[in-house]
Every structure is written in structure tokens, then in C-alpha cells.
Amino acid sequence: MRAVFVTTRRGVVIRIHPGARLPRTFRRFCGLMGQLLQKLQIRATNGAERLLRVVKGPVGRLLPAGATRVGFSSKAEVVRMDDWVRDGVVDGPGGKGAVFVLGAFAHGAISETTVDVRLGVSRYPLSAACAVGRICNALERKWDIV
């Protein structure tokens, strides 16, 4: 199962459909999030697909059982993602896979109970988008996706 979940500070869990395209401007994004929190879902304009929806949490209940939960921090041991992914850790124990937990907030840290392993992809703080890019690039190289 490939899915993206977002958890707000107040514990609201949002599932994002892989085909969803988020608005490019902050103003439209705020309007969309307001609509989502009121209606609890956002449907595609040309179909019945739910692009965004609020789901019952906590997010730990929604993650695959037995998967390695990997948290990222600039203060953790820095690894080259290519090497770490190549060593097979991403496949998890018994082939259960991995879950990547990234904090997309200015201050604070990911809860210790949320992750099994903590890694750093840089000695310097990165944006969540940059960190996700490094993870995706390493996985693309491992699986030979062109």
C-alpha cells in the first residue's frame, strides 16, 4: 500500500490520494484545507475519487504492521540514502516494507514512539520537500526506475 498521511498538531489525520495535485498558491491551499476540515473529504471534480479525506487516527493504526518506521532528523546519524536503501533495510523484516516519517514543521521533533530508526540525510536542516526528494531518488536508483 502506497499512501501519504498528514497529521496536524491537533491530531487530525488526512489521507492524500496519489493522484491529488495540491494548489500552487498558499491562498488556494488554505481554502482547500478549510473545505476539507468542514466536509471531511475533497472529491475529484470529474469523478467519484476522494483526493483528500480525514480518517480516524492515530496514524500509527493506519501504518502496515511490521514495517520499519524510519524517522528523519538533521540531528540523527547522517547516512547516504543510496547506501542505506541498497543494504535492504527498506524491505523491512520479512519483506514488510518501510514507512518514512518526516516532520514538515518549523520547530519541534517527531515523537520517539512513532519511529523505530532515526536517520539524517544531511548534516544541515533541509525542507521536507528536499528530504523526500533524496529518499525518492535513492529508491528510484535501487529499483532502476528511469
Residues 81 and 132 in one domain: yes
| Residue-range definition of the domain harbouring residue 93 | 64-142
Instruction: Give the domain-ending residue among 59, 83, 99.
Output: 59
Residue ranges with strand state E in the chain: 4-7, 13-16, 41-43, 50-55, 68-72, 98-101, 117-119
pLDDT at 7: 84
DSSP state of 93: G
pLDDT of residue 67: 80
Q: How far apart are CA 69 and CA 64, in angstroms?
A: 10
Digit-by-digit pLDDT tens for the chain (146 residues) are 577 888 887 888 999 998 888 899 999 999 999 999 999 999 988 878 899 999 987 877 887 777 888 888 777 888 898 888 887 666 644 566 788 888 766 666 666 667 788 888 888 888 888 888 998 898 888 888 87
Q: What is the CATH number of the domain that holds 93?
A: 3.40.1280.10
pLDDT at 35: 94
Number of domains the chain contains = 2
pLDDT of residue 118: 84
How remote is the C-alpha of 67 from its chain's centroid?
14
Residues 48 and 81 in one domain: no
Q: Please tell me whether residues 84 and 19 are part of one structural domain.
A: no
